[in-house]
Chains A and B, each alone.
Chain A
Amino acid sequence: MDTRTPVLVLGASGFIGSHVVAALSSHPAYRPIAASRKAAADGSRVALDATNPDAVRAAVREVGAVVNCLAGGEGAMTRATTALCEANPARIVHLSSMAVYGAATGTVREDHTPVQPVGGYGQAKIDAEAIVRRYADAGGQAVILRPTCVFGPGSSQWTTRIARLLQARRLGDLGSAGDGGCNLAFIDDLVDTVIASLDAPSGGVFNISSSAELTWNQFLLRFARALDATPVRRIPARMLRLETKLLAPARRIGSKLVKSPVTEAITPSLAALFAQDIWIDCSAATAELGLRPTPLDRMIDTSVRWLGPRPPGAPDARPRTRVARPGAAVTAGQAGR
């Protein structure tokens, strides 16, 4: 008989949730109960409507802790967090986001106040955190984690999307538009801190990031090199403006119809993040949750291996033209390697 403490993982079919479940499965002290909107056919996940207070109350009754990895729309996030806190589980490890800091700049610790514009997603995360805090104030045990851009195998946003855009030469060296702080939380590091949070003192709020002093340009260059998406293109500022202002809306509409690198949008908020001079400080998580960041090279190598060979139809990595085309008397030659 399994005597390990059961831990309910909400949003278990998602990117972060599935990694948490996998890590808990082999944990000596905890065992996961994976829950998502739809049950898995193999029985590995149970179905749970997280916005239904009665269902949630029933689900948390027997567990030692709940890890809240719920994604979804902004209203659903608030409703689900309310339902969870009202069900009053023994402990909540709540996944928030660096989006709660909004447009903050400089070195950002956990006590930093949000800076407008925060955005709809960031505001929903702020609201959800407030609900969890009220639960903690009322005697519940809670730990709030604020991961930065979660990178690694399985990350569609920060691994697949960025890789596709680099391979399509739509991202590259962004010049001053890419000088912002690139704060990446490697998925394995995040999962480690989630598990550490199951035992941590209640009431903690922690930034979780694996990169330090890394700019987006530096990251994009290293990632592109590892992906063999070279030579890296210098993206003109006007191209980036064209992407965010004109092409992004069209691509987003297109993405509803077909999933392809062509419909991958560079949204204004993504472009703003590339330039945001924000440096997330993780010293609290290092000290209290034992966060030991994975080196960037390993993060990138692992991700590139997971991405596998380039999908068919992707643009070739080689340059098309390096110098002026040959003419009758004039050549500027053609690179042929």
Chain B
Amino acid sequence: MILHADELPPGATLSAEICIVGGGPAGITLALTLARFGHDILLLESGDLEANDATQALNAGEVADETLHSPPDKYRVRCLGGATSIWGGRCMPFNPIDFEARPFVPHSGWPIGYEEVERHYPAANALCEAGEYEYDARLAVSGGMRPLIAGFAPMHFDMNGIERFSCPTHFGDRYRARLRSLPNVRVLLRSTVVRLAASSDGARITQVEARDSKDRPFTVTADQFVVAAGGIETARLLLASHDVHAAGLGNAEDLVGRFYMCHIAGTAGALKVVGGRETVWHGYDVAWDGTYCRRRIALRPDVQRQRGVGNVIFRLHHPRIADPAHETGPLSAIFLAQRFISYEYAKRLVSDAPPTPGLWLRHGFNAVRDAGSTVRFLTHWLRHRTLAARKFPSVIIRPRRNLFSLDFHAEQVPNPDSRITLGNSVDRFGNPQVRIDWRYTRQDVDTVLQAFNLLRGDLAEQGVGTLTLAPNEQDIETVVRRDGAYGGHHIGTARMGASAATGVVDRHGKVFGLSNLFVAGSAIFPTSSQANPTLTIVAMSLRLAEHLRDVAGRVARVRTAVEAVSAD
């Protein structure tokens, strides 16, 4: 059932077998799965069914360098479904190399192997509505997908990997009916958790303290607690719960909030492909199950090892929208419509300096001169994006003269100095706000630089095309800084480790030093991979659900045994 906390009697104490904090993709996956296993679940969601300003204001905080990282209230949504209410739907599994301890990537290595996560990818794909678990371009579409660039077989890159797209599925909308009908699930909206209270010996969590939307307190007791509040909020909650553990929960080794990673991502370069338009296919194909699929260019793992660089992929992209030199009507139409596009998408689509009247005029001229294309583009967008239930995933524009730019999406290496801390200001509940100090390293820049150089070499060697960087992109670090931290990917702040010296949580996601506190979501990823995190967040949550089923089962058996003894 779905309730909201305002309905509770004042000072209420609720209890459940398992209490989940956060109703995003991780929390909803856990609730749905654990309910099927027969457990009694209470899921606390700070927001409502839809976001509202008052609750959204709880996300406020400060950013050390606003040119590098978006404000803390962006890309994070307090509502049932969390950030899946605004995500783009790109699904992509991690690669086996991401789980290895790589000597050239400091602090790398997961305490679990790839196969432990891969086992859950098919079900995660289904929950994300990204079709079947098939990420090979030769198999995803019957007869195989057409090549990205005909005849191009690069030495250093794999061209057969694809990304698949969710609808994009808003987990709150999609699974609301199921959550409502499950007899052993209670979803409590308008429930902002302000503190996780530890027992006096610090060994376990006894209850969470929460506030309803009218700021009235209530508490929840449970056998097991899971924090699934997102990569930033999870760190904040652990750090702010410091009455018994002075440094915060799980933070004896000063790891909570550190190793904060997004992705190093952006758009750069000019790729001129030799040959006619038929040489290049950079759009989407549709798999039998209706999923949109798209090829990508991935740096091969053996090359990563050999060169000592991180994981990285490229996609073919249309020219930068803000520059009217593309002379392309639809792109200029997007530029002109930027005020109607949400911050999260406008940032990546448009960006650059504030537009001047002259720039507006040039874009207006493009849109009018290329009116036929503009109208066709808008009609397609209306039909296959706005009105469709499975949405066409992104703007695909065929540029003039086979001249593309490149989207890159690269792993950021773990860096203890990139971190989330508690700031000096407080929210309306008196809880410290976050301070985000996202940092990249020389190695992150080097991953992108080497990948560009290798791709340029492969293209030239095979005579397929030329890749050049504009004068203002020659220093690749300026490109990295221009786009900054990829929005919405909040990773590593409660990392998984083999021991308390290297991780906040163990291989199951349990916080070291606390017997009944777990973390779900991308906060526990020790490394960031090339992949967008949502699919792996869901897969890891399915894995945690299996573990919690075993833990909760043991607790129930012990309880039965104790009751039997005391009855004697």
Are A331 and B277 in contact (CB-based, < 8 A)? yes
Interface residues of A in 316-337 (CB under 8 A from B): 319, 321-333, 335, 337
Chain B residues positioned under 8 Å from A173 (CB to CB): 129, 289-290, 390
Are A235 and B381 in contact (CB-based, < 8 A)? no
Q: Contacts A106-B183, A221-B289 given: A333-B283 contact, CB under 8 Å?
A: yes
Does B285 reach chain A (CB closer than 8 Å)?
yes
Are A326 and B388 in contact (CB-based, < 8 A)? no
Mask: chain B, 343-361; 1 = CB below 8 Å from A; 0 = not = 0000000000000000000
Are B373 and A330 in contact (CB-based, < 8 A)? yes
Chain B residues positioned under 8 Å from A239 (CB to CB): 389
Q: Which of A277, A331, A332 has the most CB of B within 10 A?
A: A332
Does B119 reach chain A (CB closer than 8 Å)?
no
Chain A residues positioned under 8 Å from B290 (CB to CB): 172-173, 230-234
Interface residues of A in 290-337 (CB under 8 A from B): 319, 321-333, 335, 337
Interface-forming stretch among B152-160, B326-334, B483-491?
B326-334
Does B176 reach chain A (CB closer than 8 Å)?
yes
Partner of A176, one of B174, B283, B288, B376: B174
Chain B residues positioned under 8 Å from A202 (CB to CB): none
Nearest CB on A from B386, distance (A): 11
Q: Contacts A225-B288, A275-B177, A329-B327 given: A324-B381 contact, CB under 8 Å?
A: yes
Are A321 and B389 in contact (CB-based, < 8 A)? no
Interface-forming stretch among B304-312, B394-402, B424-432?
B394-402
Nearest CB on A from B290, distance (A): 5
Are B289 and A337 in contact (CB-based, < 8 A)? no
Are A330 and B398 in contact (CB-based, < 8 A)? yes
Does A237 reach chain B (CB closer than 8 Å)?
yes
Does A105 reach chain B (CB closer than 8 Å)?
yes
Does A201 reach chain B (CB closer than 8 Å)?
no
Partner of B370, one of A232, A277, A328, A331: A328
Q: Which of A172, A322, A324, A327 has the most CB of B within 10 A?
A: A324
Chain B, Cβ-Cβ closest to A240: B389
Nearest CB on A from B507, distance (A): 29
Does A139 reach chain B (CB closer than 8 Å)?
no
Does A236 reach chain B (CB closer than 8 Å)?
yes
Does A188 reach chain B (CB closer than 8 Å)?
no
Our count of residue pairs bridging A and B at CB distance below 8 angstroms stands at 117
Are A329 and B373 in contact (CB-based, < 8 A)? yes
Are A329 and B174 in contact (CB-based, < 8 A)? no
Chain B, Cβ-Cβ closest to A336: B146
Q: How far is the CA of A324 from the CA of B397 in the complex (A)?
A: 8
Partner of A236, one of B142, B374, B388, B398: B388
Does A243 reach chain B (CB closer than 8 Å)?
no
Are B177 and A176 in contact (CB-based, < 8 A)? yes
Does A179 reach chain B (CB closer than 8 Å)?
yes
The size class of the interface chain A forms with chain B is 35 or more
Are A333 and B376 in contact (CB-based, < 8 A)? no
Does B175 reach chain A (CB closer than 8 Å)?
yes
Are B289 and A332 in contact (CB-based, < 8 A)? no
Does A175 reach chain B (CB closer than 8 Å)?
yes
Partner of B389, one of A105, A237, A325, A333: A237
Partner of B286, one of A172, A221, A231, A330: A231
Interface residues of B in 373-418 (CB under 8 A from A): 373-374, 376-377, 380-381, 384, 387-390, 392, 396-398, 400
Are B396 and A324 in contact (CB-based, < 8 A)? yes
Chain A residues positioned under 8 Å from B376 (CB to CB): 324-325, 327, 330
Partner of A322, one of B285, B372, B374: B285
Q: Which of A230, A325, A329 has the most CB of B within 10 A?
A: A329
Are A326 and B177 in contact (CB-based, < 8 A)? no
Chain A residues positioned under 8 Å from B287 (CB to CB): 231
Are B396 and A329 in contact (CB-based, < 8 A)? no
Are B370 and A327 in contact (CB-based, < 8 A)? yes
**A234-B388, A323-B284, A329-B370 are known contacts; what are 6 more A-B pairs with Cβ within 8 Å?**
A176-B173, A230-B288, A231-B287, A235-B389, A324-B396, A329-B329
11 contacts between A and B (CB under 8 A): A173-B129, A173-B390, A176-B176, A176-B178, A221-B289, A230-B290, A231-B288, A239-B389, A327-B329, A327-B372, A332-B377
Rank and list the top 7 A-B pairs by shortest CB-CB distance, nearest first.
Answer: A327-B373, A331-B398, A234-B390, A324-B380, A330-B373, A236-B389, A230-B288
Binding site for A on B (CB under 8 A): 129, 141-143, 146, 167, 173-178, 181, 183, 277, 281, 283-290, 327-330, 370, 372-374, 376-377, 380-381, 384, 387-390, 392, 396-398, 400
